[in-house]
Structure 1
Amino acid sequence: MDAETPVFAIAVAAELAGMHPQTLRQYDRLGLVSPTRTAGQSRRYSMRDVVQLREIAALSAQGLNLEGIRRILELENQVSELSSRVRELEHALAEELLNRPGRRVFAAGAAGDVVSLRAGARAEKANQVVVWRPLRRGSE
Structure 2
Amino acid sequence: MIHQYDEPVYLISIVSKILEIHPQTLRQYERENLVCPSRSNGRIRLYSQRDIDRIKLILRLTRELGVNLAGVDIILRLKENVDGMETEIAELRHQVSRAQNSHSVSPDKALVTKKSLYEMIIFE
Give yes or no for TM over 0.5: yes
**1:114 — aligned with what?**
none
Matched, 1:63 2:66: yes
In structure 2, the CA distance between the partners of 1:75 and 1:99, relative to structure 1 (3 Å rule), is same
Task: Give 5+ residue unaligned stretches, structure 2.
Answer: 106-124
In structure 2, the CA distance between the partners of 1:101 and 1:92, relative to structure 1 (3 Å rule), is closer
**2:90 — aligned with what?**
87
Residues 92-101 or 55-64, more deviating = 92-101
Tell me which structure has the larger Cα radius of gyration. 1
Q: Distance in 2 between matches of 1:88 and 1:101?
A: 18
Question: Where do residues 34-53 of structure 1 align in structure 2 (5 Å cutoff)?
Answer: 34-53=36-55
Task: Give 5+ residue unaligned stretches, structure 1.
Answer: 103-140
Is the 8 Å Cα contact of residues 17 and 51 (structure 1) preserved in structure 2? no
Query: Normalising by the residue count of structure 1, what TM-score does the alignment of the two structures yield?
Result: 0.64
Counterpart AA for 2:50: R
Shift of 1:71: 0.8
Q: Which has the higher strand share?
A: 2
**2:109 — aligned with what?**
none
Q: Distance in 2 between matches of 1:26 and 1:96?
A: 49
Shift of 1:4: 2.1
1:75 pairs, out of 72, 75, 78, with 78
Matched positions, count: 102
Matched, 1:97 2:100: yes
Query: Normalising by the residue count of structure 2, what TM-score does the alignment of the two structures yield?
Result: 0.71
Matched, 1:21 2:28: no
Q: Distance in 2 between matches of 1:15 and 1:28?
A: 17
For residues 61-81 of structure 1, what are the alpha-carbon distances to aligned partners after superposition, in whole Å with 9 as ceiling and x for unaligned? 132111011111111121112
